[in-house]
Structure 1
Amino acid sequence: MAGLFGTTPSTTTTANTVNTTGDTSRDVELTAPPEDSISDIHFSSKSEHLAVASWDKKVRIYEINSDGSSAGKALYEHDAPVLSVQWSGDGSKVASAGADKMAKLFDVATGQAQQVAAADEPIKSVRFCTPPGSSEMLITGSWDKKIRYWDLRTPNPVATVQLPERVYSMDVSQGLLVVGCAERHIQIFNLTNPTTVYKTAQSPLKWQTRIVKCFPDATGYVVGSVEGRCAIQHVEDKQQASNFSFKCHRETPASGSPTVYAINAVSFCPGYGTFSTAGADGTFHLWDKDAKHRLKGYPNVGGTIAATDFNRTGSIFAYAVSYDWSKGYSANTPQYPNKVMLHPMESDEAKPRSQQGLFKR
């Protein structure tokens, strides 16, 4: 079978056997990666272009070819480490933000970047949204405990919302905005009324929230924490019975206590509704939340995985192997890997399984 990066090796299974061990042997390294730790990556929804944000204060944009090769197409700079990057819905612009307390907008057509937003503290996350009846807007979430909505045609925020704590993670899907804050606070917004908190929740996980990710159908969200656990949460009360959490990204020895790792990234595969988790243990996994089933687990890639994303068709899964500071400054040596890998997805790799499985709670 012809695969994205060449010939896909055939997989033979019996009717009662499913291979749950993933293969990374055909993964391809992105050309000319950043010079410092990678904080975020995001594919365009309109083309095969990947934006990469880094602690070297730069945002790089790459074009990905069908054979897995890549080429740098653009680069622009911030005044401090970049913490978040996001493509606009039409693929014409890239937004980024970071420790310089500002957000920038890069216009692909002109090759120019300009500041479009600011905060009182570093901006941890940027997301585009299109509230009903409005044009596309930018949302920034900052460590100053505020989210701000920006009409990119004007210099000041059109609205500012005070939050209970610093923003650690933020995501948008359709009309749903979910903000994960410090001290396990979760703030949920319905973008038909973007300045009013629709629901306030607390993460069901016991330790610090690392990542929140909205379901593609906007009915709920995934929470990942530093304790090697994920939680599947629904927005509406009538679906609360379907909420659950499960353990992942941990090593359990034959005797003694398990070693747990932070979950750094969650990404949904387009078309399927299945999702990936990736963490400080250097592995990534694919899950079917509806069947409560792990589809695939992949071997250690040689370093912590800091960020992930699927391309627009779900045929490529990109993951950044980069130091995430989970072991302090002493582990950040010059020899530590710093790269983005492109994993060609087989046609059924992220497909939901019909058989029911059980997560280990």
Structure 2
Amino acid sequence: MAGLFGATSSATSNTLGDLKNDVELASPPEDSISDLAFNPNPADLKDFLAVSSWDKKVRVYEILSNGQGQGKAQIEHDAPVFSVDFFKDGQKVISGGADKQAKVLDLATGQAVQVAQHDQPVRCVRYFENNGTPMAVTGSWDKTIKYWDFRSATPAGVVNCQERVYTMDVKDNLLVVGTADRYINVINLKDPIKIYKTIQSPLKWQTRVVSCFTDSQGYAIGSIEGRCAIQYVEDKDSNLNFSFKCHRDAPQGNVTNVHAVNDISFHPQHGTFSTAGSDGTFHFWDKDAKHRLKGYPNVGGSITATTFNKTGNIFAYAISYDWSKGYQGNQATYPTKVMLHPVQGEECKPRSTVRKK
């Protein structure tokens, strides 16, 4: 089923999305953007967006009713920042980067404190709760993931991985960790020190991103070679696993240019998902109907990170250089910006299907 979505790659009028209402955030980072996170607290009527960058900073923007954003707070690291996440209450932000640390910023006080340490750069940070206790998990190029209870300076637990951690995601009690050499580790956060299951990615090329389903029953994997895989955690659901091609140019003779899938984000209500890539496009997909909902025109640069806000009516995407074309591809004129796409009508709604019993 690897080519399942392949037939939809030529956009038709009903699947071609519109970018005309997208809004650019003012005062963007000064270097490539590595990660995006919205505050998840449904009780907070405001949207706050955290943006991490290679310029050694995390910026937090308040998204105003007119779609514009204004600076709210900032964390400074000693090296490029690779990952950022909000606490569940939306009041604090955790970030990690090449300075081998993770830091927590309290939005109320503007104070940032170091909360984690690794022997190599921290590639990923995610917030979670253990029986109501705020916790973080950090994944590093030192081949470990570490759990942190913010009341202690030492890790609450350490798990050794096969290789360097490249990507990681958490949803409810599901933690998925993607490493070098295409290993995917699945961990049940109720038993966090034990790896529940390890697979080798069904995609033959390097893992770029993993992202958990909204219902935490599985996860999506994106690779550097323009493919995405849908994987369910439990073996009983393995018949639902499949992979498909995406982020590929139309063939020119015998040559097809393929592009990295840089990020995958799941819609918080509908369970549909986005892919975004080095080709400068993003797409919305329905995994259950095995159908592409919408594809969007090229945005003028690689898309390096994406996220939906808590209600799913804003889709944020970062445009910046992702090094997919090496040093020579990084031009001074390359755009670095964060765009907000208002999710309209049916864009992310699942396709209605008549299921056979």
Q: Which residue of 2 aligns with 1:255?
A: 253
**Gap runs ≥5 in structure 1:** 1-16, 357-361
Cα offsets for 1:171-197 (capped at 9, x unmatched): 000010000000000000011100000
Deviates more, 1:64-73 or 1:138-147: 64-73
Q: Tell me whether 1:39 sits opposite 2:34 in the alignment.
A: yes
Amino acid at match of 1:341: M
Is 2:173 aligned against 1:178? Answer: no
> Residue 78 of structure 1 aligns with which residue?
77
Residue matched to 2:190: 192
Q: TM-score, normalised by structure 2?
A: 0.93
Measure the CA separation in 1 of the matches of 2:353 and 2:254: 33
1:277 aligned to 272, 275, 278, which one?
A: 275
Please name the residue that 1:52 is paired with: 51
Quote the Cα distance in structure 2 between the aligned partners of 1:282 and 1:180. Answer: 23
- Distance in 1 between residues matched to 2:75 and 2:198, nearest whole Å: 37
Runs of at least 4 residues off by over 4 Å: none
Cα shift at 1:355: 4.5
**Alpha-carbon distance in structure 2 between the residues aligned to 1:276 and 1:304:** 15
For the Cα contact (< 8 Å) 2:248–2:259, is it kept in 1? yes
Residue 294 of structure 2: aligned partner: 296
Provide the C-alpha distance between the structure 1 equivalents of 2:75 and 2:213, rounded to a whole number of angstroms: 31
Give 2:5's aligned residue: none
**1: CA distance between counterparts of 2:23 and 2:250?**
30
Q: Which runs of 5+ in 2 are unaligned?
A: 1-11
The RMSD of aligned alpha carbons is: 1.1
- SS of 1:330's partner is helix
Q: Which amino acid aligns with 1:60?
A: R
TM-score by length of 1: 0.92
Percentage of identical aligned residues: 62
2: CA distance between counterparts of 1:252 and 1:183?
A: 29
Partner of 2:125: 126
Cα shift at 1:75: 1.3
SS in 1 for 2:62: strand
Distance 1:257 1:24 in 2: 29
Q: 1:170 & 1:234 partners in 2: Cα distance?
A: 16
* Structure 2 equivalent of residue 317 of structure 1: 315
Aligned residues: 339
| Structure 1 segment 153-232 matched on structure 2, within 5 A | 153-232=151-230
Distance 1:169 1:146 in 2: 12
Partner of 1:65: 64
Secondary structure in 1 matching 2:280: coil
CA-to-aligned-CA distance 1:226-254 (integer Å, 9 cap, x gap): 00000000010100011000000001224
* Partner-residue secondary structure (3-state), 2:104: strand
The correspondence for 2:15, drawn from 13, 20, 23, is 20
Q: Give the Cα–Cα distance (whole angstroms) in 1 for the partners of residues 144 and 103 of structure 2.
A: 18
Whether 1:92 and 2:91 are equivalent positions in the alignment is yes
